[in-house]
Amino acid sequence: MNRVELAELAETVTAQQQSCRLRLLVCCGTPCVAAGAEAVVAALREKLAALGNPADLELVGTGCQGPCSRGPLLTVLRPGQPEQVWQKTTPELAVSILEAELQQAPVPDENLLPADWPFFTRQTRLVLANSGRIDPENLEQYIACGGYESLAQVLHDMTPDQACDSVVQSGLRGRGGGGYPTGLKWQLVRKGSGSRKFIVANGDEGDPGAYMDRSLMESDPHRILEGIAIAGYAIGAEQGYIYVRGEYPVAAQRLRKAIKDAERAGLLGSRVLDSSFSFRIDIRIGAGAFVCGEETALLASIMGRRGQPRIRPPYPAEAGLWGCPTLINNVETFGNIPSIFSIGPQAFNAIGNGKSRGTKVFALCGEVVNNGLIEVPMGIPLREIVFEIGGGLANGAAFKAAQTGGPSGGCIPAEKLDTPVDYENLQALGSIMGSGGLIVMGEQSCMVDVARFFMEFCLDESCGKCVPCRTGTVEIYRLLSRICNGSASQRDLQTLEQLCQMVKDTSLCGLGAAAPNPVLSTLRWFRAEYEAHVSQRRCPAGVCTMDQLPLHLLGEQLLQRIAALRCDGEGY
């Protein structure tokens, strides 16, 4: 396929889609499938078959449409009319909607989501532009949405240096959590010396409550391939790897199919789009270690070694896979690349706040009314995410904290709800942007318990190479457990703070260095809660059961018992 054929194909498919009287998009993302989307698709397919599969009716099983707690979702598109979205669709409801549409009768408005629902209207969808709009396994539908047009543009109209410069101008920063400027990284790898260069897309998402990367890989795999191919051209690599977490079989399978389709169509492989650029992408599957999301551990894992971080420098940009310069970006970062070239770096840079440009995908979950996958411009106030997009807390509970960044992040208290969500502001609050998990908690959550949960995660996922992370996390967890069960003393609280600071300062890699963050941030904003646990043996949220005694009370109790024995002479 060359550039002209690509444009022609896009036109043909678009024209065919526009000629459809009705397009039914059923969300087949994992949460919707769990809620019964497959039955809805089957019922609609049966109905269409009964009608003789007319060419002007199209049924599409799409990737994630967003409001995951409302599934199965059904979006209806008619030419020239606003789209309508139904939540919690049943097979019967879906069929009755189809029948009403065919008979030009008023469609049932049961479960119909309002057109001005803030969950949709407040979002800015760049990375997720095609998620929920196309069949992820269909290359043509991606091309119809302008897919691979950015790659064609870069290959034919730009030099690699210009491509790097465009990414620098866009102001894009790493979406995996670190926030390192992507363009600078590309330039570093481009300048790196080596016989070969490699690209790695990090899809080893592992934070509890985060599923942005999975959704993106499952809903729009070609977007990631396109982003990686553009990066390959820009830095001068011929081989890319996508490292997919082992727990994401659907994502891996869709990416594999996407790679095969793209290679067949001449969009990957040798002589991409009839240019002199050749590029291959392979999938590597992780084996279930969280630490393999750390870049040096990830590289070790790709090379078939034990997934353990090593000391940097040298950074992967100088010596990565097999000692060659290697570019590592998160899959969401690569998902941003096609948008940068399709809307232009300046337009991309116009979105955002301060040094954080563009949009960020969040997995909004916890005690919030509308759970789901959202994409918002950087700098949006946290309040807007929680109360407008998220629709506030479930059951009218009061907001207590929002946890961002998973086990490496921290909790943001209610008084900081108006903070703009971007890299710098979150860091100033002792949290991090992270990969995009956003867990909303109400008054029923005990912050000590939350910190303990994340510490348990970290101690389990520590690789064991350096002492502070291997043993420090275990000791922090034990101290937190003691605070939760009521047997901690003031001294334990002191030790906890010292130990957290030490682990943060001395750990080898990012996992260990960030592991104390949930504790330190809750200590900073919710210290009174820790104090109540320790000095009053009381859990303000009512979560912890204080069934153990601290040592000094245990001693006192023992003395009292002995004294009582002596006075009244009773036996045991």
Partner 1 sequence: MPAITLTINNDLISARQGQTLLEVAREHGIEIPTLCHLDGLEAMGGCRLCLVELQGAPRPVPSCVTKAAEGMVVTTHSDKLVEYRKMLVELLLAERTHTCSICVQNNNCELQTLAAKLGIDHVRFDYLHQQLPMDASRERFALDHNRCVLCLRCVRVCDAVEGAHTWDVRGRGSTSRIVADLDRPWGTSTSCTDCGKCVQLCPTGALFKKGATVGEMKKERSFLNRILERRRLAAQGGTP
Footprint on this chain of partner 1 (rule: CB under 8 A): 289, 291, 306, 310-311, 459-475, 478, 495, 498-499, 502, 505-508, 513
* Residue 313 CB neighbours (<10 A): 8
Alpha helices (H) along 236-293: 249-264
C-alpha distances in angstroms, 136 versus 34, 83, 118, 146?
Answer: 18, 20, 26, 14
| Nearest distance, CB of residue 480 and partner 1, angstroms | 12
Closest CB 30 distance from partner 1, rounded Å = 27
Contacts of residue 474, defined as CB under 8 A and 6 or more positions apart, other chains included, come to 459
Residue owning tokens 């490699």: 198
The least CB distance from residue 287 to partner 1, in Å, is 11
For partner 1, the closer CB: 193 or 498: 498
Nearer to partner 1, 85 or 496 (CB): 496
Q: Which helix (H) or strand (E) holds 191?
A: helix 182-191
What the block records as the tokens of 458 is 């970290």
Give least dist CB 458 to partner 1, A.
Answer: 9
CB of 153 to partner 1, least distance (A): 39
Alpha carbon 420 to its chain's center: 19
Q: Tell me the C-alpha distance between 459 and 455, whole Å.
A: 6
Helix (H, G, I), strand (E, B) or coil at 241: strand
Contacts 24+ apart (CB under 8 A), 169-172: 169/345, 169/346, 169/349, 170/336, 170/340, 170/345, 170/348, 170/349, 170/357, 170/358, 171/348, 171/349, 171/352, 171/355, 171/356, 171/357, 171/358, 172/333, 172/336, 172/337, 172/340, 172/348, 172/357, 172/358
**Cβ distance to partner 1 smaller for residue 61 or 468:** 468
Cβ proximity to partner 1: between 85 and 469 the closer is: 469
Q: For residues 297 and 291, what is the distance between their CA atoms, to the nearest angstrom?
A: 7
Q: Which is nearer to partner 1, 283 or 285 (CB)?
A: 285
Q: Tell me how far, at minimum, the Cβ of 290 lies from partner 1, in Å.
A: 10
Looking at the Cβ atoms of 117 and 453, the one nearer to partner 1 is: 453
Q: Which residue number, 45 or 470, has a Cβ lying nearer to partner 1?
A: 470
Nearer to partner 1, 16 or 506 (CB): 506
Report CA-CA distances (Å) from 296 to 177, 417, 466, 474.
Answer: 15, 35, 15, 24
Task: Give me the least distance between CB of 305 and partner 1, in Å please.
Answer: 10
Q: What's the CA gap between 356 and 374, in Å, rounded? A: 17
Q: How far is the CB of 219 from partner 1 (least distance, A)?
A: 32
